[in-house]
Amino acid sequence: MHKRTLGHSGLEVSALGLGCMGMSYGRDVPLDKAEAIDLIHQAVEQGVTLFDTAEVYGPFTNETLVGEALAPFKGQVVIATKFANEFDEQGKVLGLNSRPEHIKEAVEGSLKRLRVDTIDLLYQHRVDPNVPIEDVAGAVKELIQAGKVKYFGLSEAGAQTIRRAHAVQPVTALQSEYSLFYREPEQEILPTLEELGIGFVPFSPLGKGFLTGAITDKTTFDQADLRNRIPRFSAENRRANQVIVDLLSEIAQRKGATNGQIALAWLLAQKPWIVPIPGTRRLERLTENNGAVNVELTPEDLAEIKRAAAGITVQGARYPEELEQQTGR
């Protein structure tokens, strides 16, 4: 597994991380605990050093899982988690809360669940419109000074929010959606990150599975699967968006690779400080995804993808309206 550094921070991680959310959250049935722990251990054996979780995944159960699975590897891996929400006593999400006092409470909970003394990378999961980002960055700065957090990250933040936060506490990484299925970050986000020396950690780098070619207009998802609510995953839009999958299939066949590997290799080729975090619940997919670091796309390959992608308009919004409204910038 190759290594990459997230921006100017000096935080070195594997070129591909592992998104752990789906093991506990977003599906009808969580992955069996023993299977999930074995999968995480296999990821470590394959050279993955960046593991992504959040307090809201479960809520709380994914942090607990990741903490238990990675306890034997302290000092060898980087665990990233996120705060942003307030919960009732039953764990139901009540809404966003990034008030400084709440951030500190959230971190204490994450430290216990993750079984660590210091959180390697702490993201604000979503921008809270009711709390100035300067206050958020200031709270994390105090946590860094107290030794409870090493690095500060933002998720789904806009360019100006990133700049304002970075002026108070240097931002190590931005985590937002980015793939051939969603290229909006190329407009403002990537130039801003490059200017400021901030790394980029794309989630859903395989377009929530669509870019692998395993999903067609006939595919059905289990009841709890978020894709049931995402407009671009309607059967009609899946048919319309098949053209992207066809493009990847053509190149994959030529390269002796899979669609998913081409999609990940394309992301890795965009910038040397991009570290995608594909998620999976299956060992064979983990191994396949990690194989993307050995797929070389030539300048001609990249130019071909760029030309073809420029003529493709992805059909359907990436989130239902009520969730898009929660994605503050």
User: What integer pLDDT is reported at residue 326 of this predicted model?
Assistant: 60
Domain boundaries, the chain: 3-208+271-295
Contact yes or no for 242/215 (Cβ under 8 A) = no
Mean pLDDT (whole number) for 119-135: 97
Mean pLDDT (whole number) for 259-269: 98
Active site residue 57: yes
Specify whether domain 3-208+271-295 bears CATH 3.20.20.100: yes
Mean pLDDT is lowest, of 19-28, 69-78, 105-114, 251-260, for 19-28
Per-residue pLDDT tens for 268-317? 999 999 999 999 999 999 999 999 999 999 999 999 999 999 999 999 99
Report the sign of the C-alpha dihedral through residues 63, 67, 70, 75, in that order. Answer: positive
User: What integer pLDDT is reported at residue 226 of this predicted model?
Assistant: 86
List for the chain the helix, strand, coil content (%; round to 5). Answer: 45, 15, 40
Q: Is 153 helix (H, G, I), strand (E, B) or coil?
A: strand
Mean pLDDT is lowest, of 12-26, 46-60, 132-146, 311-325, for 311-325
Per-residue pLDDT tens for 50-100? 999 999 999 999 999 999 999 999 999 999 999 999 999 888 999 999 999
> 204: pLDDT confidence band, cut at 50, 70 and 90?
very high
User: What integer pLDDT is reported at residue 321 of this predicted model?
Assistant: 80
Q: What amino acid occupies position 46?
A: Q
> 27: pLDDT confidence band, cut at 50, 70 and 90?
confident
Contact yes or no for 57/63 (Cβ under 8 A) = yes
> 323: pLDDT confidence band, cut at 50, 70 and 90?
confident
From the list 57, 123, 151, 182, the catalytic residue is: 57
Mean pLDDT is lowest, of 162-166, 289-293, 324-328, for 324-328
User: What integer pLDDT is reported at residue 325 of this predicted model?
Assistant: 62
Query: What's the chain's average pLDDT?
Result: 95
| d(C-alpha 105, C-alpha 52), whole Å | 20
Confidence (pTM): 0.96
**φ, ψ of residue 53 in degrees (nearest 5):** -145, -175
> 327: pLDDT confidence band, cut at 50, 70 and 90?
low
User: What integer pLDDT is reported at residue 128 of this predicted model?
Assistant: 96
Of residues 191 and 223, more confidently modeled: 191
| d(C-alpha 189, C-alpha 293), whole Å | 24
**φ, ψ of residue 322 in degrees (nearest 5):** -65, -30
Return the DSSP state at 304: H
User: What integer pLDDT is reported at residue 300 of this predicted model?
Assistant: 95
User: What integer pLDDT is reported at residue 319 of this predicted model?
Assistant: 87
